[in-house]
Amino acid sequence: MQTQLIAARRALTPDGRLAPYWVEIAAGQSGTAAAETPDAGVGRILAAGEGPPPRTPDLEVRGILSPGFVDVHCHGGGGHSFAEGPQQARQAAAAHRAQGTTTLLASLVTDPLPALRESLQSLAPLVEAGELAGIHLEGPWLSPQHKGAHSEVFLQPPRPEDVADLLSTGTVAMVTLAPELPGGLDAVRQMVSHGAVAAVGHTDATYQQVSQALDAGASAGTHLFNAMRGLHHREPGPAGALLEHGSAFLELIADGIHLHPAMLRLIFAQHAERAVLVSDAMAAAAAEDGDYRLGSLLVRVSGGEARVVAADGTAGAIAGSTLTVGAAVRFAVQEAGIPAEQALTAATANPAAMLGLDEVGSLAEGGRADLVVLDEEFRVERVMQASAWVG
Ligand SMILES: [Zn+2]
């Protein structure tokens, strides 16, 4: 088998440091072939190690070598949203892939239940083919008090039969819910027993209610601090419970709009091993400013900032971001001063661990050959997915 040796003086090692490192992969294979023949080693990292490479490398990375990015919260990109249908979903995923995201959950915003079911079914072939790592339902089981860019009329408490119905499609990898809604804790247990990540978000829950949800199996906070009751010294709220609970993953939108850089520094200083950089991107990510639809809402993007357009035409709630995870890494390192190895881990190994995926998010031998080559300024230069250069 023909192989390709790639070496870097700075690469994210499987234990989360930046050090000289090399990987050897099967050369010139397509991603699809890889998915079908995993035993042949095609699409995998065949060998890897720290220090100087065993022979002259075929590619010497001048900047930084990272595992492919893993985005657990993404509504669209490249002008398309995941709710539009499979063809548009492929284009959205491709727009993010070109920017380094090689593993992606497609997030769906609140819609009527039949519309959500239809979206889940239409995206099922992409999940089965491995083009999407699964689907993230953000709603409809959210709090009207913190609806953000979700249509209030479709928000509702989680009824067991509705939860069972949507989970039965076999495509749901994660659900964001407000655990204080009637039936919320039972819904958490139901989701976890189906193997889906239950994430607390768009919530007005108290500290105690979120602690109960975490004890019931919830394992993440959706865009920490955004669309949730605030942190107060006498009522620590959802953020207090999520920060304190040792095993909850913390989604962060590092775009300079959703979170002050100081909040990123506070969180990474204490909880870097649980930080997860997400894009929460809507269709305008890796695309132009302009008017877009997010679920049933109109969103106007200006200067990269997305806001719901209210009935009177004024700008309303922030409606996701126009980030990619690569852009979030760059912001975290260059604008917020987060150590590069921590920012990269929060874009790779941490989200992979959050989803329970052990084949991605690391440059270790045996993993999927998903690589991102970054320049010294943390700009994405090249992207490999399952041994194939895709961007
Ligand atoms: Zn949200």
Residue 58, domain CATH: 2.30.40.10
Same domain, 167 and 115: yes
Whether 96 shows a pLDDT value over 90: the answer reads yes
Q: What is the pLDDT of residues 49-65, one digit of tens each?
A: 999 999 999 999 999 99
Give the torsion sign (CA, 162, 168, 169, 171): positive
Joined tokens for residue 52: 């100087």
Measure the CA–CA gap between 277 and 351, rounded to whole angstroms: 8
Joined tokens for residue 64: 């930084």
319 annotated among ligand-binding-site residues: yes
CA of 318 to the centre of ligand 1 (A): 9
Same domain, 382 and 274: no
Q: What is the pLDDT of residues 191-235, one digit of tens each?
A: 999 999 999 999 999 999 999 999 999 999 999 999 999 999 999
Instruction: State mean pLDDT over 88-115.
Output: 97
User: What is the structure's pLDDT at 150?
Assistant: 86
Question: Tell me, what amino acid is at 340?
Answer: A
Same domain, 323 and 374: no
> Which of 34-48, 156-170, 314-328 is modeled with the greatest confidence?
156-170
CA of 222 to the centre of ligand 1 (A): 7
227 annotated among ligand-binding-site residues: yes
Same domain, 35 and 111: no
Do residues 81 and 106 make contact, with C-beta atoms less than 8 angstroms apart? no
* Percent of the chain's residues with pLDDT above 90: 87
Same domain, 107 and 40: no
Q: What is the pLDDT of residues 245-303, one digit of tens each?
A: 999 999 999 999 999 999 999 999 999 999 999 999 999 998 999 999 887 889 999 98
Total of domains in the chain: 2
Residue 132's nearest CA partner among 169, 177, 186, 94 is 94
Parent domain of 51 = 3-67+362-389
Same domain, 230 and 280: yes
User: What is the structure's pLDDT at 28?
Assistant: 59
17 annotated among ligand-binding-site residues: no
CA of 146 to the centre of ligand 1 (A): 9
Same domain, 219 and 122: yes
* 280 flagged as catalytic: yes
CA of 250 to the centre of ligand 1 (A): 13
The catalytically annotated residue of 58, 280, 289, 370 is 280
Same domain, 143 and 30: no
Say how many C-beta atoms besides its own lie within 10 A of residue 56's C-beta. Answer: 8
What CATH number corresponds to the domain at position 288?
Answer: 3.20.20.140
CA of 245 to the centre of ligand 1 (A): 21
Same domain, 30 and 137: no
Same domain, 62 and 79: no
Least confident range of 28-37, 59-68, 169-178: 28-37
135 annotated among ligand-binding-site residues: no
